[in-house]
């Protein structure tokens, strides 16, 4: 439901009488109806299709209207934009490929299909993984072998020449980067993935366009209509006022959030790189234009759109311009329009912000799924400290989500690690958040004594002491160090750490997301500095090219620890994924923490439909003990079996966990 419930109260106190906003909504739709009829007639639309549209419109219109009215109702031309938005949605439905309309019809009845334990995700860059979209089709067998059912392709649309922020500086949302292929290649890939049971996730980079997008070019040519698509200012007066309350996201790129444009001789709002121009959503033309792009992208065969940089899409003077209430209204409006025109489409939130703000984007009215940056950061925190207290504290009040939504649990992605845990959660445990972040930064850059990690700093801010961490899972978990030191012991520990972390993302509730390359222990690649378009951005250290030659010797001795390290990682992860899929208790989000009295052991119960599973994980390199009684009371039984190894345990004895060992225990 929309937050502003107060406006729904009938003004005259009569039960059931529509409130003023609902009356406005009804009247507007009545007035717009003839426009819709004209469109249907012009398009010679099938009656069955228009009927389906009308049913959904009737259901969602009142809320959509209210959202748009909140956002744009004070504009003199509100009604014009309302009409345009409605017609855009109607056209989108008519032109939607029939195969996707069938998917829509199916998913309306199973809106939380993504909560299943059978869903396992992967993310990759097309060029780095397989050169192009055509060749990526040939990797479908590989994804199936690993057990993936969800694939996020990093941005693959046309980009500006030179630095393009890994695809996030888009110059045309309707054409694929020619180096990767064509829109038809994308459509073909989506079809083949679907046939193989793999859903497709693409980015909706809607906070900004590249400086060479047609809209930005038109702005540069001096066309006012397009200058109004962005935040453009003739002098520093207004930027300086905004700047007083803004954070700097990329301080090593440029100080502040605005970039001087020589051609226009004006300042442009650029939250990220100077060539990424923030769109101005206070202008309804921008909303409608991006809506069209969204429908276009959805129709290539996308199941979920990753809403990039969601936190930044609404700006107001005197605020941080992050996570503002109207950012939520905007996403809800996009969501409503998807419900009407592309109902199977899901949104995934990319809000790498304070945990209190992360959850605000998650609901079936907004983003149904969301990155879980707090879990990600705290898993790394636990690995460094060998203690799970901060993780447990955070999980205790932050894991639960609204119905029909899910976390996307990941360890690494194409971006950095920021220590976005809550300071108060830390303080409650006597941890000073500032000092702790300093420690974590030193630890993960390998500067802390005996650190096993080999990460590198990203966006170090000398003024604030702030820093984020870049590096691959394997390098951060100790494999790079083990190889440097040629140490079989370190190698074994690194392997255990990687699998321990994967074990948690595979079991804690939500969609596990593997950043491809993790499955064989991809290390940092320091050669990015040779490419001038990449040298300034250390995140490229964890975006290496896929090394297929490493995978030639995979063999089929599942679970073996004596083969190559890559083989061990791959086979162990593959096995864990397939075991996950066999455990109905891992469906959904329900999770209860189990207190063990042991500061190194994370233990929780997962349950669903009468199935129960206890996960126990040792975050230290020393053996740990759990009393059998803990298991007995949480698992309601006396004999348990680990689903991964088949080993059995009795609660009359203590449970001994090896270094970094994890167990998935169910009653036998």
Residues labelled catalytic: 308, 350
Query: For residues 85 and 79, what is the distance between their CA atoms, to the nearest angstrom?
Result: 10
What's the Cα-to-Cα distance from 271 to each of 156, 200, 279, 280, 418, rounded to whole Å? 21, 28, 10, 12, 17
Closest separation between CB of residue 621 and ligand GLC, Å? 30
Closest separation between CB of residue 596 and ligand GLC, Å? 33
Residues that bind ligand GLC (CB under 6 A): 165-166, 168, 205, 249, 272, 308-309, 350, 352-353, 414-416, 418, 468
Residue 614: strand, helix, or coil: strand
Closest separation between CB of residue 290 and ligand GLC, Å? 14
Query: For residues 520 and 153, what is the distance between their CA atoms, to the nearest angstrom?
Result: 19
Query: For residues 338 and 311, what is the distance between their CA atoms, to the nearest angstrom?
Result: 20
Helix ranges restricted to H, 196-250: 214-220, 224-227, 237-243
Closest separation between CB of residue 418 and ligand GLC, Å? 4
Helix ranges restricted to H, 244-372: 284-298, 325-341, 355-358
What's the Cα-to-Cα distance from 510 to each of 276, 371, 377, 591, rounded to whole Å? 32, 10, 16, 10
Q: Between 272 and 421, whose beta carbon lies closer to ligand GLC? A: 272
Q: Between 361 and 664, whose beta carbon lies closer to ligand GLC? A: 361
Q: Between 63 and 165, whose beta carbon lies closer to ligand GLC? A: 165
CA nearest neighbour of 578 among 531, 512, 654, 668: 512
| 489 contacts 479 by C-beta, under 8 angstroms | no
Residue nearest to ligand GLC (CB): 168
Q: Between 268 and 500, whose beta carbon lies closer to ligand GLC? A: 268
Helix (H) or strand (E) holding 663: strand 662-667
Query: For residues 407 and 581, what is the distance between their CA atoms, to the nearest angstrom?
Result: 17
Query: For residues 356 and 468, what is the distance between their CA atoms, to the nearest angstrom?
Result: 20
Tell me, letter by letter, the H, E, C secondary structure of 394-455.
HHHHHCCCCCCCEEEEECCCCCCECCCCCHHHHHCCCCCHHHHHHHHHHHHCCCCCCCCCCC
Closest separation between CB of residue 64 and ligand GLC, Å? 27
Closest separation between CB of residue 465 and ligand GLC, Å? 16
Residue 166: strand, helix, or coil: helix
The DSSP bridge partners found for residue 122 are 151, 514
| 160: phi then psi, degrees, rounded to nearest 5 | -70, 155
Closest separation between CB of residue 521 and ligand GLC, Å? 23
């Amino acid at each position: 439901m929309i937050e502003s419930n107060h406006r729904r109260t009938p003004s005259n106190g009569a039960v059931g009488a529509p409130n003023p906003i609902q009356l406005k909504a009804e009247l507007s739709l009545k007035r717009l109806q003839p426009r819709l009829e004209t469109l249907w007639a012009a398009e010679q639309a099938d009656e069955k299709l228009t009927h389906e549209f009308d049913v959904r419109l009737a259901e969602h219109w009142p809320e959509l209207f209210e959202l748009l009215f909140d956002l744009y109702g004070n504009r003199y031309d509100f009604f014009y934009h309302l009409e345009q938005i409605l017609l855009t949605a109607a056209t989108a439905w008519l032109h939607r490929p029939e195969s996707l309309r069938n998917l829509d019809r199916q998913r309306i009845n199973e809106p939380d299909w993504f909560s299943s334990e059978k869903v396992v995700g992967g993310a990759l860059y097309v060029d780095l993984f397989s050169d192009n979209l055509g060749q990526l089709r040939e990797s479908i067998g590989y994804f199936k072998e690993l057990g993936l059912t969800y694939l996020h392709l990093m941005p693959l649309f046309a980009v500006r020449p030179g630095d393009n922020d890994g695809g996030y500086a888009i110059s045309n949302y309707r054409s694929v980067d020619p180096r990767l292929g064509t829109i038809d290649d994308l459509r073909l890939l989506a079809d083949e993935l679907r046939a193989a049971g793999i859903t497709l996730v693409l980015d909706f980079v809607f906070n900004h366009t590249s400086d060479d997008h047609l809209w930005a070019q038109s702005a540069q040519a001096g066309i006012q209509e397009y200058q109004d698509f962005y935040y453009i200012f003739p002098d520093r007066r207004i930027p300086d006022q905004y700047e007083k309350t803004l954070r700097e996201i990329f301080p090593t790129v440029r100080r502040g959030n605005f970039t001087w444009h020589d051609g226009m001789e004006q300042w442009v709002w650029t939250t990220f790189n100077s060539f990424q121009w923030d769109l101005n959503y206070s202008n309804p033309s921008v909303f409608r234009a991006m809506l069209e792009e969204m429908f276009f992208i959805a129709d290539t065969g996308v199941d979920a759109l990753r809403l990039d940089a969601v936190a930044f899409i609404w700006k107001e003077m005197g605020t941080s311009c992050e996570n503002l209430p109207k950012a939520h209204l905007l996403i809800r409006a996009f969501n409503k329009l998807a419900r009407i025109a592309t109902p199977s489409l899901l949104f995934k939130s990319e809000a790498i912000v304070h945990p209190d703000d992360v959850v605000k984007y998650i609901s079936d009215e907004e983003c149904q799924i969301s990155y879980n940056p707090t879990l990600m950061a705290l898993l790394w925190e636990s690995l460094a400290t060998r203690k799970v207290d901060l993780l447990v504290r955070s999980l205790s009040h932050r894991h639960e989500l609204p119905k029909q939504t899910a976390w996307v649990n990941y360890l690494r992605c194409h971006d950095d690690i920021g220590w976005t845990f809550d300071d108060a959660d830390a303080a409650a445990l006597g941890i000073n958040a500032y000092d702790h972040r300093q420690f974590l930064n030193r630890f993960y850059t390998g500067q802390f004594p005996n650190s096993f990690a080999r990460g590198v700093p990203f966006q170090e801010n000398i003024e604030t002491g702030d820093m984020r961490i870049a590096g691959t899972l394997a390098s951060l978990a100790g494999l790079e160090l083990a190889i440097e030191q040629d140490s079989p012991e370190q190698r074994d520990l690194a392997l255990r750490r990687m699998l321990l972390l994967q074990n948690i993302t595979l079991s804690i509730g939500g969609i596990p997301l593997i950043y491809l390359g993790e499955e064989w222990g991809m290390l940092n690649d320091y050669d990015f500095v040779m490419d001038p378009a990449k040298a300034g951005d250390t995140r490229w250290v964890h975006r290496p090219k896929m090394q297929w030659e490493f995978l030639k010797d995979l063999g089929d001795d599942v679970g073996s620890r004596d083969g190559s390290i890559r083989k061990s990682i791959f086979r162990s992860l593959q096995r864990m994924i397939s075991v996950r899929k066999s455990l109905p208790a891992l469906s959904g989000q329900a999770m209860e923490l189990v207190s063990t009295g042991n500061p190194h052991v994370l233990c929780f119960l997962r349950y669903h439909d009468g199935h129960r599973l206890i996960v126990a994980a040792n975050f230290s390199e020393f053996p740990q003990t759990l009393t059998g009684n803990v298991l007995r009371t949480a698992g309601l039984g006396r004999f348990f079996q680990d689903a991964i190894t088949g080993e059995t345990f009795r609660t009359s004895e203590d449970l001994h966990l090896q270094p970094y060992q994890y167990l998935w225990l169910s009653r036998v």
